Copies of this chain bind each other. A is one copy, B any other.
Amino acid sequence: MSNIKQQDWAYLAGFLDADGSIYVRVKPNNSYRYGFQISPSVVFFQSSKEKEKMVEIQKIFEAGYLRERKDGITEWTVGDQKSIRFIMENTMPFLRLKKKQAQLMLDVLDKKSEVKTKEDFVGVVERIDEFKTLNYSKKRKNDKEKVLAKLKFNLNIELKKKNLLAP
């Protein structure tokens, strides 16, 4: 990945600003410590008619994978944190429309790696909720409430097991 030129990063920033998406999903998943998986994504969309060219672009940046949707759109999705960080840091100087989302993504990845307590985890989710405003999301419902409700529920079960709560 060391051969990527500044002009390639500027190109990718234009592509991302025009037609890309930067977001983090908070998915309920009991195999994770706090009952939720935090799943960051950087996605580029194009007509599947341009799939070959998208493969070429993806090869330059050696990140993520392409997925052809049934509706004629091909998505180039970058989901691993190392690649996301790499793309955010390098497109950052050139981004004009999605600079705030890129900065927020880096902040979330930093905070996520430092989580030690439930409170830390809720703090990360609180930051993630900021994407919904930046991305003009139609689903503006905050994930924080969902996470807090689940954490409270889990705590109740734990206390019940220890007979610390009235039945």
Residues of B within 8 A of A7 (CB): 6-7, 10, 94
Main SS class of interface, A: helix
Within the oligomer, what is the number of copies of this chain?
2
Residues of B within 8 A of A16 (CB): 14, 18
Q: How far is the CB of A142 from chain B (nearest CB, A)?
A: 20
- Which residue of chain B is the closest to A5 with respect to CB atoms? B10
Residues of B within 8 A of A57 (CB): 96
Complex: A11 Cα to B12 Cα, angstroms: 7
Which residues of A approach B to under 8 Å, CB–CB?
Answer: 6-8, 10-20, 44, 46-47, 49-50, 53, 56-57, 94, 96-97, 136
Q: List 30 A-B contacts (CB under 8 A).
A: A6-B7, A7-B7, A7-B94, A8-B10, A10-B11, A10-B14, A11-B13, A11-B14, A11-B17, A11-B94, A12-B14, A13-B14, A14-B14, A14-B15, A14-B17, A15-B15, A15-B17, A15-B18, A18-B18, A18-B19, A18-B44, A18-B46, A19-B19, A46-B97, A47-B136, A50-B97, A53-B96, A53-B97, A56-B96, A57-B96
